[in-house]
Amino acid sequence: MARDAGPAARGPELNELLRSLPSVEELAARLPDLPHAIAVRSAQRAVRSARARLLSGGDLGDLVAEARSLIPRASLRPVLNATGVIVHTNLGRAPLPAAALDAVAEVGSGYSNLEYDLEQGARGSRQAHAEQLLCELTGAEAAIVVNNCAAAVLLAAAALASGRELVVSRGQLVEIGGSFRIPDVVAQSGARLVEVGTTNRTRLSDYRGAIGPETGAVMRAHQSNFRTVGFVEEPSIEELCGLGVPVIDDIGSGALAERVPELADEPPVRRSVAAGCGVVCFSGDKLLGGPQAGVMVGTPEAIERCRRHPLARALRIDKLSLAALEATLRLYRDPPTALREIPVLRMLTAGDAVLRERAEAMRDAIGADRAQVIEATAKVGGGALPLLELEGPVCAVDPGELGADELARRLRAADPPVVGRTRDGWVLLDPRTLTDDEARIAAAAVVEALG
């Protein structure tokens, strides 16, 4: 049997092809729109691949196109949220307002006065950038910010009750996402948990009976992701603050925006502050609509104890999140601007006409033979407002022979990925969590997936 002579038989022709290969720098220069380091890495891979291809008898090919195809894809990347879940924990929770994105880019692109007092020319505090705004918006006398709400609760418990008793109602020993449990937090803080009342009923007298010389604080934990209804009772925050010991109020998402009917079931931050809580803890990346952060507002004495605790440094917020939070808080100074510019609030209060127009545009782009507009229910998500159902129109796509699961898989494989939800064999695209531009992209992805 004759043997293949292989690439060596090409002799001068192969040598000429190998000499025609551009250098890595030459090829990288033909990718001017990419950062230099990424262009160089992609060019290296393309040249190496082309050399191996030529040696095995293949063709040179389009090296620029090949280099572009070899650009490393980031693991963390944008997706289109067509699920109708506004604060989607798995999809990054709250999308940031444009002002926050601008602030992150501006602060992150160079140096900043993160911990530098420009007026005094001396070291400053990163907490100074948001404290005044938080006090203005909540009515508190002092404030600090840490990296998330769980950290805020841990720090408050450690600062006010470490080595002492922390009184909590049995009905508030809750677990939220990621197996985060109030009893575990109390244990890690160094406080001794004292349970009072029952699962469904805890009276003020229960708290009074538990408070003594060893009491460091009382904690109220909001039932963020569920509700207890029926034969229930619990004291108001004003009554708890009248017991004469510091109160830590973990209100979860909290409600900083006022006079928004959709937020009626969330505890208002201002009410807890006005009641006299030592520390009120709430999230920055849920209903507030900003970056991941744990906001702590309250009395000067309690906040100062938190500020000075060793955990405060371990849990502190980073400069990019702080820049985004400050920019988001500034929007709250003008309530109409906040409702218009903060995506979470805009989605939460979106009217039927806007949603229907967006859903119909998706249906028309996909084709009336494969899609229709129906009524469905969106949710807030993120462990907030579990009973609130947001009725509205959605675009329902008939996957045909593909089946709903396969169409959903193809949409997730699109660029950018589109994440919807399935119901009764249909794939639903909810316009509430899409912008107009995103809705057009999602519809195009469906057309391609069905093609």
Full set of structural domains in the chain with CATH? 11-69 (no CATH), 80-88+350-450 (3.90.1150.180), 98-341 (3.40.640.10)
Run of H or E residues at 248: strand 247-250
Each residue's pLDDT tens digit, 49-81: 888 888 888 888 888 888 888 877 778 889 999
Quickly state the pLDDT bin for 9 (edges 50, 70, 90): very low
Which amino acid makes up residue 424? D
Element (H, E) at 13: helix 12-19
Q: What is the phi/psi pair of residue 29, to 5°?
A: -65, -20
Pick from 424, 425, 434, 345: nearest CA to 393: 434
The strand pairing partners of 371, in sequence order, are 397
β-pairing verdict for 421-423 and 426-429? antiparallel
pLDDT score for 2: 39
CA distances from 268 to 139, 202, 291 (A): 12, 21, 19
- Would you give the distance in Å from CA 16 to the centre of its chain? 55
The answer to whether 93 and 285 are in contact (CB under 8 A) is yes
pLDDT-above-90 percentage for the chain: 73
Task: Return d(Cα 325, Cα 289) in angstroms, integer.
Answer: 9
3 state DSSP class of 151: helix
Q: Can you give the pLDDT at residue 177?
A: 64
Lowest mean pLDDT among 25-39, 172-186, 201-215, 321-335: 172-186
pLDDT band for position 38 (cuts 50, 70, 90): confident
Least confident range from 62-66, 114-118, 237-241, 440-444: namely 62-66
Q: What are phi and psi of 236, to 5 degrees?
A: -75, 165
Ranges of H-type helices in 127-221? 128-138, 149-161, 182-189, 204-210
217 in helix, strand or coil?
strand
Cα 269 → chain centroid: 20
> Three-state DSSP class for 398?
coil
The pLDDT tens digits of the residues spanning 305-315 come to: 999 999 999 99
3-state DSSP assignment of residue 259: coil
What pLDDT is recorded for position 10? Answer: 60
pLDDT of residue 137: 97
The secondary structure of residue 426, as a DSSP letter, is: E
Average pLDDT of span 411-431: 96
In the structure, what pLDDT confidence band is assigned to residue 384 with cuts at 50, 70 and 90? confident
Residues 274/267, Cβ–Cβ less than 8 Å: no
Which residue is it, tokens 């070899």? 70
> What mean pLDDT, rounded, does the chain reach?
92
For 267, the 3-state DSSP assignment is coil
